Each structure stands twice: as structure tokens, then as C-alpha cells.
Amino acid sequence: MSEPTPKRRTIRSFVRRAGRATPSQERALQEEWGRFGVEFNEEILDLDQIFGRKAERVLEVGFGNGVSLVAAALDYPQMDFVGVDVHEPGAGHCLLRAKEANIGNLRVIIHDAMEVMQHQLASASLSRINLLFADPWPKKRHHKRRIVNPPFLDLAEDKLAIGGALHVATDWENYAEHIDEVMLTRANFRLDERREHHGDQPLDRHTTKFETRGLRRGHRIWDWRFIRQ
């Protein structure tokens, strides 16, 4: 009898974190999901129908607790925001903030952003993608989990309209070096701006929870804006 071929495991940029939603986050997930939540499935979303209008659209990959995402949606009421994260308590927090802010231009998907981009978002449908303080995966053997890698960049390239922007930020020096290196190989992304700072010069974005944590630990911050060309 031949040996069964081992199944190839997909390399993901996250591990499901332990930690339960608080009662208020849990309630927000139940009560506000109908208003702000979008289910994952393998069909292209009709964003004009979901938001009830035509508008420029921003995707935030790994929004964490959603505080900076809700702040951005408040700053730009003329744009629509789609936040994707796998962490339910964070999504609950985001929904609480969205409810308080009473915004109509935000939707949340709780799923792997790679699959959401692959299946649910149409080509050239976005004017901006935010990837803020993605997990740095500091150990060398984990570098393959870093989301800033060709599979994600291929999807970002496809989903952004020409002239759209990919915003990336990190507080991890070795990840910053990796981002500089990988992005040099991407002919369809032009570096528009790069900042290295101490939390005082965020590039057209709000300060995030993980940024604040990094700053407390004495980290520097790197911000990039790449334009899809």
C-alpha cells in the first residue's frame, strides 16, 4: 500500500489568539452584526448595494480593536471602509465604537483577509488598503508567516485601482527592512512616501493600539505609502 500524501498546510499570517470577548463586546457582536457585519463566502461582494451608494473604498487588513478604523471612517464620511480581522473580541470592540460613532460607512468581516481579498473583493475595487502594525513574526522560522509577502502583494495589486494607495506601518525594525526589500521587487507599486519616526508623524492615519504598545517599549515607527501604478 502506498503512503498517503501528507496534506500541505496553508501558511497563515495569524494564530487564533485565546481571550474571550467581554460581555459588552459579545453583546455588540450580536446586536450590531446586522448593521455592520458582512459574512464571509466565496462570492464577490456588491459593495454599492451593501453601502447603498457608489464611493471610494478602503480596506483595513487586521484592524485589531478597530479604534483607528472607526476614527478614519469618521474622518472620511465620503468614503466607505471595510475592516477585516480574525479576532472576535477585537471585532466586538470595533462594533461598540462604530455604534457609539453612529457611522454608516463601515462594514466588518471576521475572517482571514487573504481569503476575503481573494474571493469577495473585485479587481480594482479599492482606492486604499491599510496594513497597520501587522504581526511581525520576529523569529526567523516564522518569517514565512509575514503577510507582506508576494501572495498578499499580488492580491493588493489586483484589488487596488490604478493610483490607489497601499499604506503600511510597523514598529519592528527587522520587519521594516523586510518590507523595504520586498517592495523594491514590486514593479507595480511606486514608493510615494516613507517615514521613520517616534510616533509623532503617522502618515495619513490615526495612532493604533499596537503602535502605542510599541512606543511604550521604545520602538521606532516606520510608515510607507506605495502607489499602485
Q: Which residues bind ligand SAM (CB under 6 A)?
A: 13-14, 62-64, 84-87, 90, 112-114, 132-135, 147, 208-211
Write b or e for each residue in 146-160: b if 16 or more Cβ atoms lie within 10 A of its Cβ, otherwise e: bbbeeebbebbbbbb
Q: Is 48 a catalytic residue?
A: no
Distance CA 35, CA 110 (A): 14
Least distance CB 59 / ligand SAM (angstroms) = 11
Helical axes 88-101 vs 23-31, angle rounded to 10°: 70
Q: How far is the CB of 62 from ligand SAM (least distance, A)?
A: 2
Cell numbers representing residue 173 in the block: 525594525
Q: Indicate the residue among 64 and 92 with the shorter CB distance to ligand SAM.
A: 64
Write down the catalytic residue from 135, 154, 158, 192.
135
Q: Is the CB of 19 or the CB of 77 nearer to ligand SAM?
A: 19
The β-bridge relationship of strands 160-170 and 221-228 is antiparallel
Shortest Å, Cβ 195 to ligand SAM: 16
DSSP, collapsed to helix, strand or coil, labels residue 6 as coil
Whose Cβ is closer to ligand SAM: residue 16's or residue 54's? 16
Give the catalytic positions in this structure: 135
